[in-house]
Amino acid sequence: MTTRGGDRPATPAVKTRKPRSSRTGRATMADVAERVGISAITVSRAFKRPELVAPELRQRILDTAQSMGYVPNQAASALASARSMTVAVLIPSMTNMVFVETLAGIHDMLLPRGYRALIGVTHYSPEEEERLIRTYLQFQPDGILLTGTDHTAVTRTYLSALSSPTVHMMELLDDPDSLSVGCSQEEGGRLMTTHLLERGYRRIGFVAVQLDPRTLARLDGYRHALEEAGLYDEKRVWRLPDPSSIHLGAAMIDRLMAENSDCDAVFFCNDDLAQGALFQCQRRGIRVPDQLAVAGFNDLPASAWTTPTLTTVATPRYAIGRHAAAMLLDLMDGKEPPQRRLDLGLTFIAREST
């Protein structure tokens, strides 16, 4: 059926050949195969399972493909093989460095293995997450990476019904059926609060913004630590639904002053808030930490450079991304990952602001 080795095809092949790249103008596998004088499947193999093709022929295929500007059609491949080589990744925000660094970890683990990330931003809304999941499931992702554990009922139904491998990032899950990589936000809150207590602060405030589950877990840690010390007082807790920002942190200092708060320390749920607070303290001449101690969370790059430098808790978000992706790769390979719940811990960083 196929003329082998003939450099110049004298007569047209028996079957009527379709014109090259019928619709899109792009060369197809069949076009490359025809040019080389072999069948399409061998071209496929030259790309996907090169070890199955004789080295010489393989090189000839690759060269020909290159010269024809052939690019494999991922949609056709996905359809035929039922593998999309795509992982859906949902994060709450992209302006928050924490998640961007998580993404970097995911990318670094996934790309070398040939997987691509389809990134969705939920804006901290489980409903938005549900909508994104619905959309992204159309791409038949081979795996899913989710942030946190706060999902709608529909999302959970989708996930269990489709049985796509799924790993939850940031928070830890106790459910033995779910996979999770993260650190204990509650412990982080407790760690910082204990530190402040040790330093002698007694009227410690907490500023919670965004009010996502992780922030609330930190608040829990703070509350438990203070309750144990008999020092918890609801009036020193501020809860704001607004997104975290430097501006808001600065505004909180103004508010504390206006409200005549008696805090001798304030634990901000995020470094950018705390940075804003430090900036505003400097403006207003509030001495940190003597007059007011300031603490943050996450250890953003600028926190080591503010005046004074900021005491904070470093979260291993890059590592979380890497490990979550690694776990997912195991699952997609049909292997059971070493552990279904991976706590990567936290690092407390004492600096000048406390």
Partner DNA sequence: CAAAGTTATGTTAGCGCTATCATCCGCGGG
Partner DNA sequence: CCCGCGGATGATAGCGCTAACATAACTTTG
Q: Which residues are near DNA by CB under 7 A?
A: 1-2, 4, 18, 21-24, 26, 28-30, 38-42, 44-45, 47-48, 52-54, 57-58, 72-73, 76-77, 79-83
Q: Within 10 A of 280 (CB to CB), how many other CB atoms are there? A: 21
Closest CA to 306 of 271, 349, 269: 271
Which helix H or strand E contains 80, and what residues bound it? helix 74-81
Nearest to 135 by CA among 157, 153, 119, 111: 119
* Window 191-220: contact mask with a copy of itself (x via CB under 8 A): ------------------------------
Q: CB-wise, 27 or 342, nearer to a copy of itself?
A: 27
What does the block give as tokens for 55?
């080295």
Q: Of all helices (H) and strands (E), which one includes residue 266?
A: strand 265-268
Binds 18, which of DNA, a copy of itself, none (CB < 5 to 8 A, cut-off by type)? DNA
Instruction: Please say whether the beta carbons of 267 and 221 come within 8 A.
Output: no
Shortest CB 261 distance to a copy of itself, Å: 21
Of 247, 240, 243, nearest to 205 (Cα)? 240
Least Cβ distance, residue 111 to DNA (angstroms): 18
Residue among 5, 19, 55, 69 that touches a copy of itself (CB under 8 A): 69
Contact 268, 294 (CB under 8 A): yes
Instruction: Report, in Å, the least distance between residue 265 CB and a copy of itself.
Output: 21
The count of residues in the chain is: 354
How many angstroms separate the Cα of 16 from the Cα of each of 12, 27, 40, 128?
8, 18, 16, 50
- Tell which residue, 135, 144, 129, 120, has the closest CA to residue 329: 144
Q: Which does 2 bind (CB under 5 to 8 A by kind): DNA, a copy of itself, none?
A: DNA
Stretch that binds a copy of itself, among 134-142, 263-271, 323-331, 333-341 (CB under 8 A): 134-142
Among 37, 40, 139, 349, binds a copy of itself (CB under 8 A): 139
- Closest to DNA by CB, 51 or 174: 51
Residue from 40, 57, 62, 100 binding a copy of itself (CB under 8 A): 100
DSSP label at residue 289: T
Considering only residues 101, 130, 264, 271, which one is a binding residue for a copy of itself as defined by CB under 8 A? Answer: 101
Side-chain-side CA neighbours of residue 16 (13 Å):
1
Instruction: Report the residue number, 132 or 172, with the smaller CB distance to a copy of itself.
Output: 132
54 sits near a copy of itself (criterion: CB under 8 A): no
Question: Should residue 276 be labelled a site residue for a copy of itself when binding is judged by CB under 8 A?
Answer: yes
